[in-house]
Structures are given as C-alpha cells and as structure tokens.
Amino acid sequence: MRDVTLRDGLQLTGKMLSTARKVEIVRRLLAIGVPALEIGSLARADLVPTMANTLEVVRALTAQELEACWLWVATPRHVEQALDAGARNLQYCFSASDSHNLANIGRSTDASLAAMPAAIELAQAAGATIELCIATSFTCPFEGPVDPERVLQIVTDPRAAGSEGVVICDTLGQAVPAQVSDLVSRVHQVSPGRELVFHGHDTWGIGVANTLAAITSGATMVDGALGGLGGCPFAPGASGNTSSEDILFATRPPWLTPDALGDLVRLGESLLGELDEPNRSRTAQGARSTAHAFEWVLPEE
C-alpha cells in the first residue's frame, strides 16, 4: 500500500498545507504502519500550487523517512532537483495518450519517453529508485479508450529500460475489474522483473474492486488516498483516488490492526475537515457505526 494523499490527493484542493503540516502527516502515516507514501510532485507551482513546497518537505524529512517516500517527476531536471533535495524514490510520469500528456506535461508522449534515459541515468548514478509511471493507461479524457497495446509498447520500449517498476494508472477511474486484470497481467508477463503498481481512482465506485483485481493479477503495490481525496487537474471527469482506508480494510495487511485503522480514519477525518473536502471512504463511515461488537468499529469518543 502506498498512500498518495500528499501528492495526487492534494492536487485539486483549494487550500495549501504548510510544510510542517505535510511533514506531520508523513510521520503519522509512517508511525501507523503505512509502508510507502507519495509526498509531492515537481509540477509547476503556477499550475498545481498545492505542490509548491514539495522540495521543502523532502528536505525536512530524515534519510530513513525518505526511504519510504516517493516523488512525482516528469523531466530529467525534476530528477536532478529531487535528488539534490534528498529524494530516494521517483516516479517518472507521462501519459499513454498524447492529448493528456500535452495537457499535463506540455509535450508529446514520445518526447517524454525520449527524455527518460537521461532521467534513469541520473537516478542510477545517485543510487535512487525510479519507476515508469503511465497515466491514462485505460482511458483518456480527450481521446477516449486507450489501446492496451499502446501501454505495452511503452512498458517494453528500450528507452524505459532501467526503470525498476511500472505504475499502471486508471487516471479517470473508468476501468472495470476485467480490464484491470487483463492489462496488469499482460504487463506482468512482458516485464516480470519490475515492481508492478496499480494506481486507481473511484470515479465510478469500483476503485476497491479494481485494486483487488490488480493484486490478484500481479500488482505488488497499490495506491490510495485518505478519504478518497484527489484527482487530476488536467483530466476532466476524474474524481478522487481510491480510499486508502477502504483498500486497507479490504486487504488486511499484517500490520493493520483495528487500532491502526482507527488512527487512519481519525487522521483522514481531521485532514479532510481541514481542507473542506468530503470524506468518500466507506470504511471511515463504517468505523463510525454503532455496531460496536465488530472489532473494526471505533469506540465511542
């Protein structure tokens, strides 16, 4: 489980979080037991202002904390900046569809691929991890359905060789479990040595189902955000990420105890209240029910 609240989760919010508040959230999530976090991006601050203090957050964390943290990058220059600040894990992201890549990053998909060897070389020289992150792997808001062959071509492109993981993104939350299973399985077959990550959104209410389909098809990491927060500012029709609380309640990793889930629910409620955002987590709702004989329900407070 990788919680992406502080990157994808914050992209569409109207309120900024201070560096200190972001660092506090990182430390609370790690203390609860969440094994991996995405803590920001190097997107242009004028386009995504909530990411403006990302490098300040990186510099405020310890080397040990940064081993569990990921940054979104889209150019070799981003990689340089992230590494200089102390980042150890990077997602080099672009879209399978040209139209979304032009809207999101300002260049064609092929141009992003052409720059990837330089990004990989920089990361490898610093001993950092870099993943290939493919947005709009299923559908594009401007072009419609994306051919799975397009995604497989990107995964196997020699220019992406050297990336240590592949992130398959249902950016719009329009995929269904059968599509997720098919694409994740095919990516796993053509790239068996890489970590395989599924990044889903819950636009149509099946984010958890898609996440479970990805896990059973070979995904070794899945993304979510507290309370289902998030969305892409350059993807009309996209809603929030699949809820971290919902994914964790469904998968029950060994570290997740009722107390740990309760801490996550409380943190999500506090953060979304601070941001004036709705809490879309069904697990958070269930945890506040009156069925106190169920061990996952929070005690009355």
Active-site residue list: 232
Give the separation between CA 222 and CA 162, rounded to whole angstroms.
Answer: 21
Which neighbouring-strand residues pair with 196?
166
HEC secondary structure over 165-188? EEEEECCCCCCCHHHHHHHHHHHH
The two structure tokens encoding residue 115: 């720059």
The two structure tokens encoding residue 76: 């070799």
25 C-beta neighbours (distance < 10 Å), count: 22
Residues 6+ apart with CB under 8 A from 177: 206, 209, 210, 212, 213
Beta-strand ranges (E) seen in the chain are 2-3, 36-41, 69-73, 89-95, 129-135, 139-140, 144-145, 165-169, 195-199, 221-224
The two structure tokens encoding residue 54: 């990302």
Give the separation between CA 274 and CA 269, rounded to whole angstroms.
Answer: 9
Give the helix/strand (H/E) hosting 109: helix 109-125
Task: Say which residue the tokens 């994808």 belong to.
Answer: 8
